[in-house]
Amino acid sequence: MLQLDSFIEIAKSAALLAGEYIKDQQNKDLEILLNEGRDIKLQIDVDAEKIIKDRLIAESSFPILAEESGTSNELNDFYWVVDPLDGTSNFLRNIPISCVSIALMKDIDPILGVIFDFNNDNLYFAHHESKAYMNDSELSVSSITLKSDATLVTGIPAKKNYSDEEFKNMISDFQSWKKIRMIGSAAMASVYVASGRADAYSENGIFLWDIAAGAAIVKAAGGKVILQNLTSDYRVDATFTNKNF
């Protein structure tokens, strides 16, 4: 039986360490390692990931799937999923919507999630035997039942080409919601759903490390999580709602 309370403390400490490091770098010259197509990578992504991995390796024996370095070794039933800086482009442009995201997976089921919104010093966390929290406050999804009253948070995944059909379907769906938001961080979008600030998040072809922690938090906050069509490069189709959509 996993001691999820102890593992969530490990993830929280790793997220806080990385987040504080990232905050310290905010006003410094940021080294860009990759800026190609719609993808961008900073040295700070790599450095923050090492901070997280060092803590997770020191405190647990689970393998790690991380955005920048891939898999630490063969993934088994339980493994960590790490996004050291979700919203890198926002961070580079001083848009304060970015975070550290850490999840513990059982197969393809996120059972624990920690997201540190370092811009606002808010730590979101939950596991599948707990409630969801932001700092000391319990979280709950919204009770809105009509799309015409609801806010959908979404995004356009970082791939090179999109078909006209993809955009046609996206726009058709947009018309049924009261408001649409694209904020540049899937992890932050998920905690907005968990805290009732938005009512749904949906994105196809999003990387697992972008949404795994948020999935665990949304579920613990009373929401519905659908993850499907996992690909070999760890992209998934993700939908999180308040259970009414």
CATH of 4-138, one of 3.40.50.1860, 3.30.540.10, 3.40.109.10, 3.90.650.10: 3.30.540.10
Which helix (H) or strand (E) element contains residue 200?
Answer: strand 200-207
Same fold for the domain at 4-138 and the one at 147-241? no
Long-range contacts for 226-230 (Cβ within 8 Å, ≥24 apart)? Answer: 227/108, 227/110, 229/204, 230/108
**What is residue 42's predicted lDDT score, i.e. its pLDDT?**
84
Pairing between β-strand 70-71 and β-strand 64-66 as defined by DSSP bridges = antiparallel
- pLDDT for res 26: 84
Locate the domains of the chain by residue range: 4-138, 147-241
Residues 6+ apart with CB under 8 A from 68: 41, 45, 46, 49, 84
Q: What is the predicted pLDDT for the residue at 158?
A: 61
- Using CB atoms within 10 Å of the CB of residue 148, give its burial: 0 to 12 exposed, 13 to 18 middle, 19+ buried: exposed
CATH code assigned to 147-241: 3.40.190.80
pLDDT at 31: 78
Outline where 139-180 has alpha helix (H).
Answer: 164-174
Tell me how far apart the alpha carbons of residues 206 and 158 are, in angstroms, rounded to a whole number. Answer: 8
Which segments in the chain show pLDDT lower than 50? none
d(CA 24, CA 22): 5
- Residue 168 confidence (pLDDT): 81
Residue pLDDT, tens place only, 8-24: 999 999 999 999 999 99
Q: How confident is the model over 94-107, as pLDDT tens digits?
A: 999 999 999 999 99
Give the pLDDT confidence score for residue 138 in this predicted structure: 98
Predicted confidence at residue 165, as pLDDT, reads: 79
Under DSSP, is residue 34 helix (H, G, I), strand (E, B) or coil? strand
Listed in sequence order, the DSSP H helices in the chain are 4-24, 43-59, 88-92, 164-174, 186-194, 208-220
Residue 190 · residue 241 · CB < 8 Å: no
